[in-house]
Amino acid sequence: MTEAIMRTERLNKAFSLGETIYAVSDVSLSIPGGRITAIVGPSGCGKSTLLSLLGGLDRPMSGDVFLENQSYRSLSEDGLALLRRRKLGYVFQFFNLIPHLTALENVMLPMSFIGVKRSDAKARATELLERVGLGKRLSHVPLQLSGGEQQRVAIARALANSPALILADEPTGNLDSKSRNDVLNLFEKFNQENGQTFVLITHDDSVAAIAHKTIRMSDGQAVEDQ
């Protein structure tokens, strides 16, 4: 049995919208290391809120998240920010690239935050962009790239600091079918060749089909497929 790289203990997150609505309700789950896990559910089921908790982008009302046995709750805001920079990568539906930076500069950016020497960051970013099939697009800014190419830059950026885990929020939701398949193939490639751990948040069962493990969400609650 594969050891968990991340686990949660009774996570709760609620919002007050006239009444108290639990977006995440008593969620305990585990994410196996070196595998692809899909968290699947319809819009409004709480999966994006769960991702923000797993990614240390928001704090739960109660419960805890552990990444490589490090408790989030025990960390200060600065400590949590450092964990995000060093141990987590993020891929978003709308890419979130910096518009005035080239593909190469976008991928180099996370490395600058942890003090990687510029020449080393440039070499690492170049290698990653070549691996995602964009070796000839290094000097292009986002507007000069297709949606699929922008998402491949975003994947390379997420991999830049060799994170323990990459969280991808609806990573194919804004792509055509060919680009969608290209992106899913890249997740499988980096998982198989590098043992990279991915968590994919999706409403699409066909995206979840590449996962080794599926967690289904409904009304803020999570059930792990056996």
Out of 87-91, 121-125, 174-178, 208-212, which region has the weakest mean confidence (pLDDT)? 174-178
For the segment 163-171, the average pLDDT, to the nearest whole number, is 96
To 10 degrees, the CA torsion angle through 111, 114, 117, 119?
0
Max Cα–Cα distance, the chain, nearest Å: 53
pLDDT of 18 reads 78
pLDDT of 207 reads 93
Give yes or no for residue 43 having a pLDDT over 90. Answer: no
For the segment 182-197, the average pLDDT, to the nearest whole number, is 96
pLDDT of 80 reads 97
Q: Does 123 fall in a domain?
A: no
Residue 56, both tokens: 């240390």
Q: Does 125 fall in a domain?
A: no
Out of 6-20, 47-61, 79-93, which region has the weakest mean confidence (pLDDT)? 6-20
Give yes or no for residue 166 having a pLDDT over 50. Answer: yes
Q: Does 168 fall in a domain?
A: yes
Give yes or no for residue 164 having a pLDDT over 60. Answer: yes
CATH number at residue 28: 3.40.50.300
Q: Does 110 fall in a domain?
A: no
What's the chain's length in residues?
Answer: 226
Number of domains, the chain: 1
- Tell me phi and psi for residue 198, to 5 degrees: -125, 145
Give yes or no for residue 226 having a pLDDT over 70. Answer: no
For the segment 137-164, the average pLDDT, to the nearest whole number, is 97
Q: Does 188 fall in a domain?
A: yes
Give yes or no for residue 17 having a pLDDT over 90. Answer: no
Give yes or no for residue 225 having a pLDDT over 70. Answer: no
pLDDT of 196 reads 97
Provide the domain limits for residue 53: 4-98+164-224
Q: Does 115 fall in a domain?
A: no
| Band of pLDDT at residue 149, cut at 50, 70 and 90 | very high
Residue 220's alpha-carbon distances to 63, 205, 214, 226, in angstroms, are 14, 18, 16, 19
Q: Does 200 fall in a domain?
A: yes
pLDDT of 19 reads 83
Give yes or no for residue 85 having a pLDDT over 60. Answer: yes
> In percent, how much of the chain has pLDDT > 90?
88
Residue 85, both tokens: 């920079």
> In percent, how much of the chain has pLDDT > 70?
99
| Band of pLDDT at residue 20, cut at 50, 70 and 90 | confident
Q: Does 118 fall in a domain?
A: no
DSSP the chain: -PPEEEEEEEEEEEEEESEEEEEEEEE--EEETTSEEEEE--TTSSHHHHHHHHTTSS--SEEEEEETTEESTTS-HHHHHHHHHHHEEEE-TT----TTS-HHHHHHHHHHHTT--HHHHHHHHHHHHHHTT-TT-TT--GGGS-HHHHHHHHHHHHHTT--SEEEEESTTTTS-HHHHHHHHHHHHHHHHHH--EEEEEES-HHHHTT-SEEEEEETTEEEE--
